[in-house]
Amino acid sequence: MPKLSSFAARALQRQIQDGQFARGSMLPGQRALAASLGISRSALREAVSTLEALGLLHIQPGKGVFVADGAVRATADLPASPMFDDPQVVFQFRAIVEPGAAALAAQRADAQGLKRLADIQHAMEEALHQQDLLAASEADLAFHLAIAEIAGNAMLASVIHSLEAPIAHSLRLPFADPDSEWMPALEHRVVLDAVVAHDTAAAHRAMRRHIASAAARVGLSLDLPVLESSMPLPLTPSTTGVTP
């Protein structure tokens, strides 16, 4: 996220939490708000869409931007993902690719990689203690990017980085439910423990469960492929029945 929109999102989040903008009230017009924050309107738009994904703001097309009133958001009202409108597409992709990255990270993580993940986990838990959903979601994203990098496959890391915007959007959505805002951090803890233990199967399972659970928290079911975990990889002549 560019620095200015991140700054603006942080400032707006604070103003909402401080009650400067009451629940359900309409924010000032874009021009006035951008001027008061000292940023461009495009940076403001990005900040507003970040806070909308986190459930703090609600954009009503043609009317304006409103502070969320605390009502639970219907799945049909989820804000569209950047690049791929349907958040389900993003969650499903993530649930297919990221468990593999987590397994590889568990296999390859060195002391530096483990420290990096532990630091991110700590930052996420701190942010939640301070009710800073924006920082928590940034740490959430950092965790997933770090896993992709620690996996040590340049193509995998490149794909995940190129999809950073829709991935960031998808992981913000579950934070809109105050009852489950700790769930991502608790699920990350399970992934982290598996990576620390270099347990590839547990890391795979924990990441898959984390992403499927996150999707379920916003009402999406992912129709994931059934995996036959007992299948030997790679296939050997004896398992294919072919004699060389």
Query: Which positions from 166 through 225 interact with Zn ion, judged by CB under 5 A?
Result: 184
Total residues contacting Zn ion by CB under 5 A comes to 2
- What interhelical angle do 30-37 and 41-53 show, nearest 10? 100
Positions 22 through 61 that interact with Zn ion (CB under 5 A): none
User: Do you find a cis peptide bond into 234, omega within 30 degrees of 0?
Assistant: yes
Tell the smallest beta-carbon distance from residue 49 to Zn ion (Å).
19
Enumerate the H helices of the chain as residue ranges: 3-17, 30-37, 41-53, 87-108, 111-129, 133-150, 154-162, 164-172, 183-196, 200-217, 237-240
CA distances from 3 to 33, 46, 75, 78, 123 (A): 17, 11, 30, 25, 19
Q: Which is nearer to Zn ion, 11 or 114 (CB)?
A: 114
> Do residues 134 and 9 touch, judged by C-beta distance below 8 A?
yes
Site for Zn ion in 125-144 (CB under 5 A): 140
Cα–Cα distance, 118 to 176 (Å, whole number): 25
Cβ nearer to Zn ion, comparing 9 with 206: 206
Residue 142 DSSP SS3 = helix
Question: Least distance (Å) from Zn ion to the CB of residue 137?
Answer: 9
User: Shortest gap between Cβ of 171 and Zn ion (angstroms)?
Assistant: 5
To the nearest whole angstrom, how small is the minimum distance from the Cβ of residue 140 to Zn ion?
A: 4
Between 52 and 140, whose beta carbon lies closer to Zn ion? 140
CB atoms within 10 A of CB 162: 11
**Which residue number, 140 or 181, has a Cβ lying nearer to Zn ion?**
140
For Zn ion, the closer CB: 44 or 173: 173
Q: Does 98 bind Zn ion (CB under 5 A)?
A: no
Residues 59, 79: contact at Cβ < 8 Å?
Answer: yes
CB of 214 to Zn ion, least distance (A): 7
In the bound state, the residue with its beta carbon closest to Zn ion is 140
One-letter amino acid for residue 38 of the chain:
G
CB of 34 to Zn ion, least distance (A): 31
Q: Which is nearer to Zn ion, 89 or 142 (CB)?
A: 142
Residues lying near Zn ion in the complex (CB under 5 A) are found at 140, 184
